[in-house]
Protein backbone atom coordinates (compact mmCIF):
# COMPACT_ATOMS: atom_id res chain seq x y z
CA UNK A 1 0.00 0.00 0.00
CA UNK A 2 1.07 3.58 -0.68
CA UNK A 3 1.25 5.56 2.59
CA UNK A 4 1.59 9.34 2.69
CA UNK A 5 2.09 11.34 5.90
CA UNK A 6 1.15 14.95 5.23
CA UNK A 7 2.55 16.64 8.34
CA UNK A 8 4.86 14.15 9.98
CA UNK A 9 6.88 16.84 11.77
CA UNK A 10 4.03 17.51 14.22
CA UNK A 11 4.26 14.11 15.92
CA UNK A 12 7.84 13.29 15.00
CA UNK A 13 10.18 16.27 14.60
CA UNK A 14 13.08 13.86 14.28
CA UNK A 15 13.49 12.21 17.68
CA UNK A 16 11.34 9.18 16.80
CA UNK A 17 11.62 6.68 13.94
CA UNK A 18 9.42 6.08 10.90
CA UNK A 19 11.13 2.73 10.18
CA UNK A 20 8.27 0.58 11.45
CA UNK A 21 5.77 2.50 9.32
CA UNK A 22 7.93 1.85 6.28
CA UNK A 23 7.47 -1.89 6.75
CA UNK A 24 3.73 -1.49 6.12
CA UNK A 25 3.95 -0.06 2.62
CA UNK A 26 5.64 2.40 0.34
CA UNK A 27 6.00 5.55 2.45
CA UNK A 28 6.37 9.23 1.72
CA UNK A 29 6.80 11.47 4.76
CA UNK A 30 6.24 15.21 4.36
CA UNK A 31 7.16 17.43 7.30
CA UNK A 32 4.42 19.93 6.46
CA UNK A 33 1.78 20.26 3.73
CA UNK A 34 0.00 23.45 2.69
CA UNK A 35 -3.74 23.22 1.92
CA UNK A 36 -3.18 23.60 -1.81
CA UNK A 37 -0.69 20.70 -1.80
CA UNK A 38 -2.97 18.06 -0.26
CA UNK A 39 -4.48 16.67 -3.44
CA UNK A 40 -1.26 16.43 -5.43
CA UNK A 41 0.71 14.87 -2.59
CA UNK A 42 -2.00 12.32 -1.74
CA UNK A 43 -2.90 11.52 -5.36
CA UNK A 44 -1.48 7.97 -5.32
CA UNK A 45 -2.11 7.27 -1.64
CA UNK A 46 -4.12 4.36 -0.30
CA UNK A 47 -3.42 5.58 3.24
CA UNK A 48 -3.05 9.19 4.33
CA UNK A 49 -1.83 10.24 7.76
CA UNK A 50 -2.58 13.74 9.05
CA UNK A 51 -2.27 15.59 12.30
CA UNK A 52 -3.66 19.03 11.51
CA UNK A 53 -3.90 19.10 7.71
CA UNK A 54 -7.58 19.35 6.76
CA UNK A 55 -9.00 16.69 4.47
CA UNK A 56 -12.44 17.68 3.19
CA UNK A 57 -15.02 16.30 0.81
CA UNK A 58 -13.42 18.11 -2.15
CA UNK A 59 -10.09 16.43 -1.47
CA UNK A 60 -11.65 12.99 -1.20
CA UNK A 61 -13.49 13.48 -4.50
CA UNK A 62 -10.10 13.94 -6.19
CA UNK A 63 -8.43 10.98 -4.47
CA UNK A 64 -10.10 7.86 -5.93
CA UNK A 65 -7.40 5.54 -4.54
CA UNK A 66 -7.82 6.74 -0.94
CA UNK A 67 -9.07 4.03 1.40
CA UNK A 68 -7.89 5.12 4.83
CA UNK A 69 -7.24 8.37 6.71
CA UNK A 70 -5.28 8.07 9.92
CA UNK A 71 -5.64 11.12 12.16
CA UNK A 72 -2.51 11.38 14.30
CA UNK A 73 -4.44 12.91 17.20
CA UNK A 74 -7.51 12.28 19.32
CA UNK A 75 -9.67 15.02 17.78
CA UNK A 76 -10.72 14.35 14.19
CA UNK A 77 -12.68 17.46 13.23
CA UNK A 78 -10.08 18.13 10.50
CA UNK A 79 -11.66 15.34 8.42
CA UNK A 80 -15.11 15.49 6.80
CA UNK A 81 -16.41 12.33 8.42
CA UNK A 82 -19.71 12.27 6.52
CA UNK A 83 -17.90 12.46 3.19
CA UNK A 84 -15.51 9.70 4.25
CA UNK A 85 -18.40 7.49 5.36
CA UNK A 86 -20.21 7.99 2.06
CA UNK A 87 -17.09 6.96 0.16
CA UNK A 88 -16.33 3.99 2.39
CA UNK A 89 -13.09 5.54 3.63
CA UNK A 90 -11.99 4.37 7.05
CA UNK A 91 -10.98 7.21 9.40
CA UNK A 92 -9.14 6.38 12.60
CA UNK A 93 -7.97 8.48 15.51
CA UNK A 94 -5.58 7.96 18.43
CA UNK A 95 -7.61 7.86 21.65
CA UNK A 96 -6.21 8.42 25.15
CA UNK A 97 -2.53 8.46 24.17
CA UNK A 98 -1.74 11.72 25.98
CA UNK A 99 -3.96 11.43 29.05
CA UNK A 100 -1.23 11.54 31.67
CA UNK A 101 0.81 14.18 29.85
CA UNK A 102 -2.16 16.55 29.54
CA UNK A 103 -3.16 16.06 33.18
CA UNK A 104 0.45 16.80 34.09
CA UNK A 105 0.26 20.05 32.11
CA UNK A 106 -2.93 21.03 33.94
CA UNK A 107 -0.96 20.89 37.17
CA UNK A 108 2.12 22.46 35.65
CA UNK A 109 -0.03 25.53 35.03
CA UNK A 110 -1.71 25.32 38.42
CA UNK A 111 1.61 25.02 40.24
CA UNK A 112 3.19 27.76 38.16
CA UNK A 113 0.41 30.13 39.13
CA UNK A 114 0.41 28.99 42.76
CA UNK A 115 4.18 29.13 43.29
CA UNK A 116 5.54 31.28 40.39
CA UNK A 117 8.74 29.22 40.22
CA UNK A 118 10.00 30.86 37.01
CA UNK A 119 9.33 34.33 38.36
CA UNK A 120 11.36 33.70 41.49
CA UNK A 121 14.12 31.94 39.57
CA UNK A 122 14.42 35.02 37.35
CA UNK A 123 14.40 37.35 40.37
CA UNK A 124 17.13 35.37 42.11
CA UNK A 125 19.29 35.41 38.98
CA UNK A 126 18.76 39.16 38.77
CA UNK A 127 20.32 39.49 42.24
CA UNK A 128 17.21 40.29 44.22
CA UNK A 129 17.76 37.62 46.87
CA UNK A 130 21.40 38.56 47.42
CA UNK A 131 20.24 42.14 47.98
CA UNK A 132 17.39 41.18 50.30
CA UNK A 133 17.56 42.40 53.91
CA UNK A 134 15.63 39.25 54.93
CA UNK A 135 16.34 35.53 54.57
CA UNK A 136 13.55 35.29 51.96
CA UNK A 137 11.33 37.48 49.84
CA UNK A 138 8.14 37.18 47.85
CA UNK A 139 6.03 39.63 45.90
CA UNK A 140 3.21 37.43 44.62
CA UNK A 141 0.53 35.46 46.44
CA UNK A 142 1.75 31.94 47.30
CA UNK A 143 -1.18 29.54 47.16
CA UNK A 144 -1.51 26.24 49.02
CA UNK A 145 -3.65 23.78 47.04
CA UNK A 146 -4.72 21.62 49.98
CA UNK A 147 -8.41 22.24 50.66
CA UNK A 148 -8.98 24.23 47.47
CA UNK A 149 -11.87 23.21 45.20
CA UNK A 150 -11.03 22.04 41.68
CA UNK A 151 -13.90 22.03 39.20
CA UNK A 152 -13.35 19.81 36.17
CA UNK A 153 -15.45 20.35 33.06
CA UNK A 154 -15.51 17.03 31.24
CA UNK A 155 -14.67 13.84 33.13
CA UNK A 156 -13.19 11.66 30.41
CA UNK A 157 -9.75 10.04 30.59
CA UNK A 158 -7.92 13.32 31.10
CA UNK A 159 -10.49 14.67 33.53
CA UNK A 160 -10.18 11.56 35.70
CA UNK A 161 -6.37 11.71 35.59
CA UNK A 162 -6.52 15.37 36.61
CA UNK A 163 -8.89 14.52 39.46
CA UNK A 164 -6.55 11.84 40.79
CA UNK A 165 -3.66 14.31 40.94
CA UNK A 166 -5.86 16.88 42.67
CA UNK A 167 -6.94 14.39 45.29
CA UNK A 168 -3.28 13.64 45.97
CA UNK A 169 -2.82 17.34 46.79
CA UNK A 170 -5.72 17.14 49.23
CA UNK A 171 -8.03 19.16 47.02
CA UNK A 172 -11.80 18.90 46.89
CA UNK A 173 -12.92 17.80 43.41
CA UNK A 174 -16.19 18.44 41.65
CA UNK A 175 -17.06 17.76 38.03
CA UNK A 176 -19.53 18.69 35.34
CA UNK A 177 -20.03 15.49 33.38
CA UNK A 178 -22.59 13.48 31.43
CA UNK A 179 -21.82 10.51 33.69
CA UNK A 180 -24.34 9.82 36.43
CA UNK A 181 -23.39 10.42 40.05
CA UNK A 182 -23.50 6.64 40.55
CA UNK A 183 -20.67 6.24 38.02
CA UNK A 184 -18.37 8.59 39.91
CA UNK A 185 -16.14 7.63 42.83
CA UNK A 186 -17.33 9.12 46.12
CA UNK A 187 -14.45 11.60 46.25
CA UNK A 188 -15.65 13.34 43.06
CA UNK A 189 -18.89 15.31 43.39
CA UNK A 190 -21.12 15.74 40.34
CA UNK A 191 -22.37 19.33 40.05
CA UNK A 192 -24.09 21.57 37.56
CA UNK A 193 -22.12 23.96 35.41
CA UNK A 194 -23.29 27.06 37.27
CA UNK A 195 -22.33 25.63 40.65
CA UNK A 196 -18.95 24.50 39.34
CA UNK A 197 -17.95 27.91 38.01
CA UNK A 198 -19.29 29.88 40.96
CA UNK A 199 -17.76 27.74 43.72
CA UNK A 200 -14.47 26.41 42.31
CA UNK A 201 -11.13 27.93 43.22
CA UNK A 202 -9.69 26.43 40.04
CA UNK A 203 -11.60 25.41 36.91
CA UNK A 204 -10.00 23.00 34.45
CA UNK A 205 -11.48 22.61 30.97
CA UNK A 206 -11.08 19.00 29.84
CA UNK A 207 -14.10 18.69 27.57
CA UNK A 208 -14.21 18.25 23.78
CA UNK A 209 -15.04 21.12 21.45
CA UNK A 210 -18.63 20.77 20.23
CA UNK A 211 -21.27 23.27 19.10
CA UNK A 212 -22.55 23.19 22.69
CA UNK A 213 -19.17 23.86 24.32
CA UNK A 214 -17.83 26.47 21.90
CA UNK A 215 -17.62 29.77 23.78
CA UNK A 216 -18.51 28.00 27.03
CA UNK A 217 -16.33 30.41 28.98
CA UNK A 218 -17.61 33.87 28.12
CA UNK A 219 -18.17 37.16 29.89
CA UNK A 220 -21.35 35.97 31.57
CA UNK A 221 -19.72 32.77 32.82
CA UNK A 222 -16.57 34.54 33.97
CA UNK A 223 -18.67 37.01 35.95
CA UNK A 224 -19.90 34.14 38.13
CA UNK A 225 -16.40 33.05 39.13
CA UNK A 226 -14.55 34.09 42.27
CA UNK A 227 -12.16 37.00 41.78
CA UNK A 228 -9.49 34.75 43.31
CA UNK A 229 -10.19 31.89 40.90
CA UNK A 230 -7.90 30.36 38.30
CA UNK A 231 -8.96 29.08 34.87
CA UNK A 232 -6.97 26.31 33.14
CA UNK A 233 -7.59 25.35 29.51
CA UNK A 234 -5.78 22.36 28.04
CA UNK A 235 -8.83 21.33 25.99
CA UNK A 236 -9.46 23.42 22.90
CA UNK A 237 -8.99 27.13 22.34
CA UNK A 238 -12.53 27.93 21.18
CA UNK A 239 -13.96 26.73 24.49
CA UNK A 240 -13.04 30.24 25.67
CA UNK A 241 -14.00 33.64 24.30
CA UNK A 242 -10.50 35.03 24.44
CA UNK A 243 -11.37 38.73 24.58
CA UNK A 244 -13.77 38.10 27.48
CA UNK A 245 -11.09 36.19 29.38
CA UNK A 246 -8.52 38.92 28.75
CA UNK A 247 -10.98 41.56 29.96
CA UNK A 248 -11.65 39.63 33.19
CA UNK A 249 -7.95 39.17 33.88
CA UNK A 250 -7.09 42.80 33.18
CA UNK A 251 -9.96 44.00 35.34
CA UNK A 252 -8.91 41.73 38.20
CA UNK A 253 -12.28 39.99 38.34
CA UNK A 254 -10.42 36.73 37.67
CA UNK A 255 -7.05 36.11 39.32
CA UNK A 256 -5.19 34.10 36.68
CA UNK A 257 -5.40 31.75 33.72
CA UNK A 258 -3.14 29.01 32.37
CA UNK A 259 -3.80 27.99 28.78
CA UNK A 260 -2.11 25.54 26.43
CA UNK A 261 -4.50 26.09 23.52
CA UNK A 262 -5.78 29.11 21.63
CA UNK A 263 -8.46 29.63 18.99
CA UNK A 264 -5.91 30.32 16.25
CA UNK A 265 -2.66 28.38 16.38
CA UNK A 266 -0.13 29.81 16.04
CA UNK A 267 -1.87 32.86 17.52
CA UNK A 268 -2.32 36.17 15.80
CA UNK A 269 -0.03 38.89 17.12
CA UNK A 270 -3.07 40.82 18.37
CA UNK A 271 -4.54 37.95 20.41
CA UNK A 272 -5.63 39.71 23.63
CA UNK A 273 -4.42 36.88 25.86
CA UNK A 274 -0.80 37.43 24.83
CA UNK A 275 -0.67 40.62 26.87
CA UNK A 276 -3.36 39.93 29.47
CA UNK A 277 -2.53 40.25 33.16
CA UNK A 278 -1.65 36.96 34.90
CA UNK A 279 -2.21 34.91 31.74
CA UNK A 280 0.32 32.11 31.34
CA UNK A 281 0.43 30.49 27.90
CA UNK A 282 2.22 27.39 26.66
CA UNK A 283 2.29 26.65 22.90
CA UNK A 284 -0.05 23.61 22.67
CA UNK A 285 2.50 21.17 24.07
CA UNK A 286 0.48 19.30 26.72
CA UNK A 287 0.20 16.32 24.37
CA UNK A 288 3.80 16.40 23.14
CA UNK A 289 5.87 14.59 25.76
CA UNK A 290 8.20 11.99 24.28
CA UNK A 291 6.27 9.19 26.00
CA UNK A 292 2.93 10.41 24.66
CA UNK A 293 4.23 10.76 21.11
CA UNK A 294 5.74 7.29 21.27
CA UNK A 295 2.32 5.94 22.25
CA UNK A 296 0.72 7.97 19.46
CA UNK A 297 3.08 6.48 16.87
CA UNK A 298 2.54 2.95 18.13
CA UNK A 299 -1.26 3.26 18.13
CA UNK A 300 -1.13 4.73 14.63
CA UNK A 301 0.85 1.69 13.47
CA UNK A 302 -1.58 -0.68 15.21
CA UNK A 303 -4.51 1.12 13.56
CA UNK A 304 -2.98 0.64 10.10
CA UNK A 305 -2.17 -3.02 10.74
CA UNK A 306 -5.75 -3.66 11.87
CA UNK A 307 -7.06 -1.94 8.75
CA UNK A 308 -4.76 -3.97 6.50
CA UNK A 309 -5.98 -7.13 8.22
CA UNK A 310 -9.57 -6.17 7.41
CA UNK A 311 -10.50 -5.49 11.03
CA UNK A 312 -10.32 -1.69 11.54
CA UNK A 313 -10.12 -0.34 15.08
CA UNK A 314 -10.67 3.21 16.35
CA UNK A 315 -12.74 3.86 13.23
CA UNK A 316 -14.65 7.11 13.72
CA UNK A 317 -16.37 6.91 10.31
CA UNK A 318 -18.43 3.79 10.89
List, by residue number, the catalytic residues: 236, 265, 284
Residue 147: CB atoms within 10 Å: 10
Q: What is the CA radius of gyration of the chain?
A: 22
The neighbour count for residue 193, using CB atoms within 10 Å, is 13
Q: Residue 175: CA atoms inside 13 Å, Cβ hemisphere, count? A: 28
Alpha-carbon span 56 to 83, nearest angstrom: 8
Identify which of 247, 241, 172 has the alpha carbon closest to the alpha carbon of residue 205: 241
Amino acid sequence: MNIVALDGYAANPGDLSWDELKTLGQCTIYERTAPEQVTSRAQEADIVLTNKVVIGADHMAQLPQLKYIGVMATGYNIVDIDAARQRGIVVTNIPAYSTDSVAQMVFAHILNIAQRVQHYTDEVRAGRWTQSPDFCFWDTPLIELHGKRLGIVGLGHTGYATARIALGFGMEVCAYTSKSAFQLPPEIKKVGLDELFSTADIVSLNCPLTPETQGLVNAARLATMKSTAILINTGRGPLVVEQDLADALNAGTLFAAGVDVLTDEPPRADNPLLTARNCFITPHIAWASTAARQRLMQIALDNIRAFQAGKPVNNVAR
